[in-house]
Amino acid sequence: MALPWFIFITVALVLLLADIYKRNGLKALSYSRYFSRKTAYEGERIEMIEEIINAKLLPLPWLRLESSIARGLEFGSQDNLGISTGEISQNHISLFYLKSYRHIKRRHHVTCERRGLYRLESVTMTTGDPFGLTRKNKTYPLELELLIYPVLLNLDELPLPIHSWLGELPVKRWIVEDPFLTAGIREYSSGDSMGLVNWKATARTGVMQVHKKDYTADSRLVICLNIEDSDSMWRTVTDVERIEQGIRYAATIAEYAMQHGIETGLICNGRLDDAGERDPIEAEPMAQLEDMLELLARLKLDRTLPMSRLLELQVESGISDTDFLIISCHRGAELQKATDLLMQQGNGVEWLDIPEQGRESA
């Protein structure tokens, strides 16, 4: 009789233990995940840190964490970390053993292989009893983002015809009257605003005097990034790496221009990664390189409008005295026509052709 009772008690204890883990395994359990930096450049290495806390007496013999993230981040090999890669995303599976009241921090080395906006929105935790009889899972929301900027190239890596234009850009200035700079006083002229009147000088001379404004240099550059890899492309980019190189050109030229005090805008017929609508990118001239790099990092290669139409919209807005740089794989007839209209309106236009990969630009 002793053996049956022993088996009965053992089975009862195992089932009781399984029920305890089913009810309490995921209680008092917290998890966080973050990157060592919020932004990085293509090719850089950063860390992804996982922290998990078991704030209860019950130890966890095994805990499985599973999450998914878009491809483009390369994780180094590590014990208890499994990665399965699909066409679009990759699944990460981590295994933990957690003692009572235990806090574990694990660091993963990550290589940023491709620019983009990477999001981790949730993680699924699964645990159970030591015998594997029961298991319970729960999905925890995460709000984790990582921006990978396009790598900045050396100027000598740009196609040759653009070098001389870049050298001229800092000295090509549009001279405009600056309302915040004063260069003395002069007599009042018909049409001067009363807000310019210098009353002390008027009282002293007996003749109405106004502030004389000085002039300052204002350079305006608009980078036009065309994601069409051919004149006949409809919506889907087929030569992705060629367009990615064009994005690196745009980032490099924006850095050069902004370092020389030239505010730089961006027009692109792609769309932003998290935009609800399929709107093209039309960013006003900006002075901070990080703002430009963020736009380029979030750029999704999904054509919204022909680049020729975007340039026509610029013409219709009446823009003038602005330098336009067209970064494109082609110079189709409609695109050429739109750039001619920009030039007729008093704008400068320069081309930067994106060479086919493996070929040097002429």
- Whole-number CA gyration radius for the chain: 31
Q: Map out the domains of the chain with their CATH numbers.
A: 16-149 (2.60.40.1530), 155-173+219-353 (3.40.50.20), 185-215 (no CATH)
Confidence band of 112 (pLDDT split at 50, 70, 90): very high
Residue 141, burial from CB neighbour count under 10 angstroms (0-12, 13-18, 19+): exposed
- Please tell me the pTM assigned to this model: 0.80
Average pLDDT over residues 243-255: 97
Q: Which residue has the higher pLDDT, 6 or 150?
A: 150
Question: In this structure, what token pair is assigned to residue 39?
Answer: 């932004």
Whole-number pLDDT of residue 278:
80
pLDDT band at 2 (very low <50, low <70, confident <90, very high): confident
Find where tokens 């999704």 sit. Answer: 300
Q: How many CB atoms lie within 10 A of CB 162?
A: 21
Residue 111 has pLDDT above 50, yes or no: yes
pLDDT in tens, 257-283: 999 888 899 999 999 987 667 899 999
Tokens of 71: 């491809």
Q: 216 pLDDT exceeds 60?
A: no
